[in-house]
Amino acid sequence: MRKLLARTIPALLLALVLAAPLWAITLDEAARQAARRYDGKVVSARTVERNNRRVHVIRVVTRDDVVRTVRIPADKD
């Protein structure tokens, strides 16, 4: 039983580490979402760490020439 656990637990941890990017949203995806949401053009996009979490900060200029700053969590929970 111990040998089974000794093999299974590391394999499960490795699977979780490799699958983590599947839950994340890329900066490019976040920029597209922001542009669609505000019907505008993305003028800047960057990823910052805030409170130990990654956040995409997107600046969008709307059709009315209003600059909006959109924050989208980089990690899907």
Q: Where are the domains of the chain?
A: 24-77
Residue 35 contacts residue 68 (beta carbons within 8 Å)? no
Nearest to 33 by CA among 76, 71, 77, 75: 71
Ranges in the chain, pLDDT < 70? 1-5, 7, 9, 11-23, 77
Distance of alpha carbon 24 from alpha carbon 73, whole angstroms: 9
pLDDT in tens, 5-16: 576 767 666 665
> Where are the alpha helices (H) located in the chain, listed in sequence order?
2-23, 27-38
Residue 30 contacts residue 56 (beta carbons within 8 Å)? yes
